[in-house]
Amino acid sequence: MSELVISKVDKRFGKTVALDDVSLRIKSGEFICLLGSSGCGKTTLLRIIAGLEQSDSGELQLDGESLTRLASHKRNIGMVFQSLALFPHLNVSRNIAYGLKMRGVDAETTKTRVEELLKLTGLTGFGARAVTSLSGGQKQRVAIARALALEPRLFLMDEPFSALDAGLRDHLQQEVKKLQKQLGVTTIFVTHDQSEAMALADRIVILNNGKIEQAGSPKEVYQQPSSRFVAEFIGANNLFDVTIESGAVRFKEYNLGSSIVIGTDLRGTQTLTVRPETITLLPPGNSSGNSRGNSSGNSGAFLQGAVVMQRTIGALIEHDIDIDGHLIKQTMLQNNDYEVSVGDTVGLSWDWSQAWFLPGESG
Amino acid sequence: MNLFVPRVLGMTAFGILCVFFLVPLAFMVVVSFYKADPMAFYQETFTWENYQKFFSGFYLNVTLRTLWTTALGAVLVVILAFTAMLAIAELSRKWQLFWILVLLSLMCLSEVIVGFSWLILLSESAGIPRLLGALGFWDNPRSLSPSFGAMMIGLVMLGFSVVSLILYPQVAGRDKSIEEAAQTLGTAPHLVTLYVTLPIFMQTLIALTLTMFVYLLGVFVMPIMLGRPRDWTMTVMISDKALGDANLPLGSALAVIMLIITGVILLISLLASRKRTA
């Protein structure tokens, strides 16, 4: 169980800024997901933590001990690579035992530890198998067992499931989460897959252009995004540039309601985010203020538009609704009482407690 | 699937192999049992005499010398090429391309040109000895060829570019995260090549060493140009007997024996490799 403190870390590759003043405190036993699109700096940060890259400036401390100048092989950090990086010339047991052998652990202890890890990762009986003969999921388990063999202070995983099919990925995600809880090892998991981050993390750190955009629990980053990037990056979202004046919240010429009723003291131009699943579709006639400019409160439809796209995704139906050229996404369960078709005019409303004004986005 | 075209092509290739390799080989085997005749190359009289000469001592010594010389040459070629490619693979793409072009240029040179170049470089009057003398590192510079070392340099030069170019794509395209994984598992960076990279490439390196061994067995020019007579390999002896002494039966017998020895060595290596893989 180890606490990692990252302070003001910068990294450039030529003219490209990979990390820009990154600071983060990772609590002991925490499961952190570094989430971002390609090139955002998440893998660079992981490699700096592992000692495979040197930061240009900044400091890393693990349980108060500085890692900044410590060589990778002396850090005792277990890492699972994107390519898994198993040793193709060694069998499963020898792959797992490699780190123990490097540390000079005696043969009997090594054998016992390897057996433990094989059992822990569900690979009992696979010890003598060549790693090249294993399936994708089995290889993942070997890579995890190998990284955990030395009882590392930190456990790093760099997009380990990116090459797997969805079913196996879900299964391994659950196993990793269970294993991490069981061992209590502080874990940093890099992914570009937001659903993977949501499923695994205690805390998600969202990176963009080498900077941390937001760090928070999956619920926080989903429901209370700190920036337009996070709001658009995490899940589907509807962003409205609204104006709050004289106690009224307006979007284009629609009056969305009273700011007192909505419960905000913000003023001026703001960005409002509303998740598609929190929007309710209403028949156009079933609204207290569906015509332009005269919505009065938090009941009934605030907006009105035409359904331009409808598609079924499993149990959900997704709609695109055109409101004066502004496309709104809405999702609802298939067994909803109110059914609409493409071309229908519908009213839209939502629960204001589920809506969120982006901080620092006022105009 | 119509197999007519592949069958025709296959039979043509097999026919060419029979005509240009197996027929001369069969002829050589037959001649190796004939009696030598200085006036007419050979008499068509069956004799074991040529094979008995091989075991007389002299040729046995030459054979052993040839085997260890070419084995040493093959091992040196592969070690040097592998380490050079590891170093080149770390350079920028621009410099990698530069070195690949240099290697390709080296490969274009004929054995004779490479031999002459080293003859000049190792000569007392114009080459390395003179330079070392001028720099004060050698009081009494003298020619470094012919010598065993000069011959070995020639052999290594012949194989180096070929082996390097075979290894380059594999070395440059290797998954470096395996080496990084070894570091995170406690391997010091300077030991990663020894503990991880070398074992991963071992099968390839063994295969290349065997290939080079067979190739260098047949090299003729380098031992003559850069080696002393006592360094000459069996290939030189065979040519000397067959062409110089006009003793085609003895030359053929020596060639057949070398062919058998090479075949046996390759077979043993193959079996050992299979056992290791299993």
- Residue of A52, A70, A140 best to disrupt the B interface, most CBs of B under 10 A: A52
CB contact under 8 A, B183 and A83: no
Quickly count: other Cβ atoms within 10 Å of residue B18's Cβ: 12
Same domain, A195 and A302: no
Same domain, A155 and A15: yes
Q: Tell me whether residue B38 is exposed, middle or buried, using C-beta atoms within 10 angstroms of its C-beta: 0 to 12, 13 to 18, 19 or more.
A: exposed
- The answer to the question of residue A225 being in a domain is no
Same domain, A183 and A316: no
What letter does residue A358 receive in the DSSP assignment?
P
Distance CA(A355)–CA(A350), nearest Å, equals 8
Q: Which of A192, A219, A246 is the last residue of a domain?
A: A219
Using alpha carbons, list the distances in angstroms from residue A103 to A62, A81, A98, B178, B183. 20, 21, 9, 18, 12
> What is the length of chain A?
363
Distance CA(A305)–CA(A327), nearest Å, equals 9
CB contact under 8 A, B180 and A73: no
**Model ipTM over 0.90:** no
- The answer to the question of residue A226 being in a domain is no
Using alpha carbons, list the distances in angstroms from residue A220 to A23, A216, A230, A262. 19, 6, 11, 20
Same domain, A188 and A49: yes
CB contact under 8 A, A87 and B196: yes
Contacts of A160 (CB under 8 A, 6+ apart): A80, A81, A82, A84, A140, A143, A144, A172
Q: B207 by DSSP, 3-state: which?
A: helix
Same domain, A296 and A209: no
Contact indicator for A187, A155 with CB cutoff of 8 Å: yes
Domains of chain B are 58-277 (1.10.3720.10)
The angle, 0 to 180 degrees and rounded to 10, between the axes of the packed helices B148-172 and B58-89 is 40
Query: Cα distance from B163 to chain A (closest Cα, Å)?
Result: 22
For residue A321, give its domain range: 236-357
Same domain, A88 and A153: yes
- The answer to the question of residue A155 being in a domain is yes
Burial B200-217 (b: 16+ CB within 10 A, else e): bbeeebeebbbbbbebbb
Q: Which of A193, A219, A245 is the last residue of a domain?
A: A219
Quickly count: other Cβ atoms within 10 Å of residue A202's Cβ: 17
Residues of B with a Cβ under 8 Å from any A Cβ are 175, 177-178, 180-189, 195-196, 199-200, 202
Q: Which of A219, A251, A272 is the last residue of a domain?
A: A219
Contact indicator for A89, A33 with CB cutoff of 8 Å: no
Same domain, A201 and A67: yes
CATH number at residue A58: 3.40.50.300
- The answer to the question of residue A254 being in a domain is yes
Residues of B in contact with A75 (CB under 8 A): 184
Determine what percent of chain A is predicted with pLDDT higher than 90.
Answer: 60
Size of interface A-B (CB pairs under 8 A): 70
CB contact under 8 A, B186 and A103: yes
Could you say which of B177, B188, B202 has the minimum Cβ distance to residue A85? B177
Q: B187 by DSSP, 3-state: which?
A: coil
Could you say which of A88, A89, A102 has the minimum Cβ distance to residue B186? A102
Residues of A in contact with B189 (CB under 8 A): 71-73
Q: What pLDDT, on a 0 to 100 scale, did the predictor assign at position A301?
A: 60
Contact indicator for A190, A42 with CB cutoff of 8 Å: yes
Alpha-helical runs (H) found in B90-197: 93-108, 111-121, 128-134, 148-172, 176-184, 189-192
Contact indicator for A70, A233 with CB cutoff of 8 Å: no
Distance CA(B74)–CA(B219), nearest Å, equals 12
Residue that has been written with the tokens 């099919």 in this structure: A165
Tokens of A340: 């609409």
Same domain, A172 and A298: no
Distance CA(B132)–CA(B136), nearest Å, equals 6
Contacts of B187 (CB under 8 A, 6+ apart): A73, A102, B195, B196
Could you say which of A73, A83, A86 has the minimum Cβ distance to residue B187? A73
How many Cα atoms within 13 Å fall on the side-chain side of residue A227?
12
Query: Cα distance from B199 to chain A (closest Cα, Å)?
Result: 7
CB contact under 8 A, B200 and A87: yes
Contact indicator for A32, A205 with CB cutoff of 8 Å: yes
CB contact under 8 A, B177 and A83: yes
CB contact under 8 A, B183 and A147: no
Q: What pLDDT, on a 0 to 100 scale, did the predictor assign at position A286?
A: 55
CB contact under 8 A, A51 and B183: yes
Contact indicator for A355, A273 with CB cutoff of 8 Å: yes
Could you say which of B183, B185, B187 has the minimum Cβ distance to residue A52? B183
Same domain, A90 and A175: yes
Q: What pLDDT, on a 0 to 100 scale, did the predictor assign at position A296?
A: 41
Overall number of domains in chain A: 2
- The answer to the question of residue A58 being in a domain is yes
Q: What pLDDT, on a 0 to 100 scale, did the predictor assign at position B240?
A: 84
Nearest to A117 by CA among A153, A149, A158, A83: A149
Query: Cα distance from B215 to chain A (closest Cα, Å)?
Result: 28
- The answer to the question of residue A363 being in a domain is no
Could you say which of B184, B188, B195 has the minimum Cβ distance to residue A50? B184
Question: Amino acid identity, residue A111?
Answer: K
Residue by residue, pLDDT tens for chain B (278 residues) are 678 888 999 999 989 988 888 888 898 899 999 888 877 777 788 888 888 888 878 888 888 999 999 999 999 999 999 999 999 999 999 999 999 999 999 888 888 998 989 988 998 887 788 888 888 888 888 888 889 999 999 999 999 999 999 999 999 999 999 999 999 999 999 999 999 999 999 989 999 999 999 999 888 889 999 999 888 988 888 888 888 778 888 889 999 998 998 889 888 888 887 776 65
Distance CA(A65)–CA(A90), nearest Å, equals 34
Tokens of B114: 């490479």
Residue in chain A nearest B276 by alpha carbon: A89
- The answer to the question of residue A224 being in a domain is no
- Average pLDDT, 10 consecutive residues per value, chain A (363 residues): 90 93 94 93 95 94 91 94 94 96 93 92 92 91 93 93 83 88 93 92 95 95 93 91 84 79 77 91 61 43 87 90 91 81 88 84 55
Residue in chain B nearest A129 by alpha carbon: B278
Same domain, A154 and A245: no
Determine what percent of chain A is predicted with pLDDT higher than 70.
Answer: 93
Same domain, A192 and A274: no
Residues of A with a Cβ under 8 Å from any B Cβ are 50-52, 71-79, 81-83, 85-89, 98-99, 102-103, 146-147, 149-150
Could you say which of B175, B178, B185 has the minimum Cβ distance to residue A102? B185
Contact indicator for A12, A41 with CB cutoff of 8 Å: no
Peptide bond into B24 cis (omega under 30): no
Same domain, A200 and A262: no
- B157-212 pLDDT, tens digit per residue, is 999 999 999 999 999 999 999 999 999 999 999 999 999 999 999 989 999 999 99
Contacts of B49 (CB under 8 A, 6+ apart): B35
DSSP result, A296-337: -SSSS-SEEEEEEEEEEETTEEEEEEEETTEEEEEEEETT-S
Query: Cα distance from A97 to chain B (closest Cα, Å)?
Result: 10
Strand runs (DSSP E) across chain A, as ranges?
4-13, 16-26, 31-35, 57-62, 65-66, 77-80, 154-158, 186-191, 203-208, 211-216, 238-245, 248-251, 254-258, 268-274, 279-282, 303-313, 316-323, 326-333, 345-350, 356-357
Q: What pLDDT, on a 0 to 100 scale, did the predictor assign at position A292?
A: 42
Query: Cα distance from A297 to chain B (closest Cα, Å)?
Result: 58
Residues of B in contact with A79 (CB under 8 A): 180-181, 184
Could you say which of A73, A83, A149 has the minimum Cβ distance to residue B183? A73
CB contact under 8 A, A98 and B182: yes
Alpha carbon A40 to chain centroid distance? 13
